[in-house]
Amino acid sequence: MNSASRFFAAAQVSLAEKARFLSDPKSYPHTPREIIVIETHMALVFLAGETVLKLKKPVRFPFLDFSTLAAREAMCREELRLNRRLNDGLYVGVRPVRLSAAGALNFEDGAIVDWLVEMRRLPKERMLDEMIRRKEVGPEEVELLSQKLSGFYRHAKPSAISPADYFNRFVREQSENHRVLESRSFAVDHGRAVTILEKLDESLYVHRALLEERVNSGRIVDGHGDLRPEHICFAKEIAIFDCLEFNVELRQVDPFDELAFLGMECALIGDPFFGEQIIARVGENLVAPVPRALVSLYSAWRAALRARLALAHLLDPRPRLPRKWEPLATRYLALAESALNP
């Protein structure tokens, strides 16, 4: 098979074929006993013993484009770079999946058909979301995480976003919140959704000066982008992973916006106080307390956004777990309402 033929053959390998290869323990040199596969909106994650491999789906959305092999390689390398800011040794590297001359997928020989991010596996029982559900989170975890995040934000690259662009990003996303959450296609309380969104509109404009002052005072940085409890692990060394790699704009954040997001997600699964404690400690460590009104706004904003993203799953032709998203959106709306009425 000449090089052109190998390139053509490689381009024809489907996502399903790659998933079958990566789901087979015999594909791996260390032959794990089993492979656990986790599917997300944008990736397939393969837990193979102590190794974790992440395969990006060849998808395209308004906010990302993984549709080409070159784009997926670039995003794998960007994911590696971003997450190594927060971890030492967790992210092993980027590795290819190849197609041999005989037409077999492997890791060593042949034309590259896709790229993987390789990580070390973390203990599930030490993930923050699991610990919250077991009510095992206390002052020690608050202190460890606040110290880790304070150091990260202290050295994060400042954003060049302008005050007007920062504020208009909220306005733009809020417009999309209205479009999706007020749609009669979804089983949510539309009257309640409208009331919450209108109150959030008002809060955005009332606190515009506070938002723009965060930019003027240099508080917006290149952050994590998706700081949720399932992305934090209290292993031997605290690990924070899964930075948002595919959209630079969405990573340009006020640290306290990210922390409000984390607190809101912790409240969703049963701990309404963890986020408040982290915000207080990081504020002390950075000598940069944030106005309480702004934290409430960030919390409500993040909850409304998550409600919208939950419902957006149902816009897919064949949504995964279709019964999950409307009840989840309703819970997020309740958190937005609570944040707007502290």
**Per-residue pLDDT at 102 exceeds 90:** yes
Predicted local confidence at residue 2, as pLDDT? 46
Are the C-beta atoms of residues 53 and 22 closer than 8 Å to each other? yes
Q: Are residues 212 and 152 in the same domain?
A: yes
Mean pLDDT of 26-31: 94
Distance (Å, rounded) from C-alpha 59 to C-alpha 76? 14
The total domain count for the chain is 2
Contacts of 301 (CB under 8 A, 6+ apart): 170, 174, 200, 204, 257, 336
98 and 237 in a single domain? The answer is no
* Residues 158 and 258 both lie in one domain: yes
Same domain, 139 and 165: yes
Average per-residue pLDDT for the chain: 94
Q: Which residue has the tokens 């996502």?
A: 15
Q: What does pTM read for this prediction?
A: 0.93
Question: Are 56 and 196 members of one domain?
Answer: no
| DSSP line for 124-151 | GGGBHHHHHHTT---HHHHHHHHHHHHH
Q: What span, in angstroms and rounded, lies between the C-alpha atoms of 126 and 124?
A: 5
Quick one: 186 and 37 in the same domain?
Answer: no
pLDDT tens for residues 180-216? Answer: 999 989 999 999 999 999 999 999 999 999 999 999 9
Of the three residues 80, 97, 121, the one that is the final residue of a domain is 121
260 lies in the same domain as 288: yes
CATH number of 180's domain? 3.90.1200.10
Give the number of other CB atoms < 10 A from CB of residue 127: 19
Same domain, 7 and 55: yes
State the residue for tokens 């917006």. Answer: 220
Among residues 69, 86, 121, which one ends one of the domains? Answer: 121
Does residue 316 surpass a pLDDT of 90? no
Helix, strand or coil for residue 109?
coil
Number of Cβ within 10 Å of residue 52's Cβ equals: 22
- Helix intervals (H) in 69-189: 69-83, 128-133, 139-155, 163-181
176: containing domain? 128-340
Shared domain for 135 and 115, answered yes or no, is no
Of 53, 87, 121, the domain-final residue: 121
Secondary structure letter of residue 102 according to DSSP? T
Nearest to 153 by CA among 245, 225, 234, 242: 225
